[in-house]
Amino acid sequence: MVQHFASGGKTIVGIVNPDLVPYALFIRNRLIDFGMVSVPWIFYFSHPMFHEKKGRITSLNSR
């Protein structure tokens, strides 16, 4: 989503005030980089596969 908002913001700046497009491109590129890096980190911290298991799995046949 960050990439889409950054590109949309650049487009709006280009329509409203074309003189500011180089500044908008500078900011847009940094936002796109931030979005590309943040998505894997969010996935890593939120997905249960990467968390330590809390409970112990036991078999019913182990009596």
Domain residue limits, the chain: 2-46
Question: Contact 3/32 with Cβ under 8 angstroms?
Answer: yes
Please give the average per-residue pLDDT across 39-62, as a whole number. 77
Burial level of 35, CB count in 10 A (0-12/13-18/19+)? middle
pLDDT, tens digit, 9 for 90 and up, residues 26-43: 988 888 888 889 888 888
pTM, 2 dp: 0.57
Helix (H) / strand (E) element for 8: namely helix 2-16
Q: How confident is the model at residue 12 (pLDDT cuts 50, 70, 90)?
A: very high
In DSSP notation, 15-36 reads HH-GGGHHHHHHHHHHHHHHHH
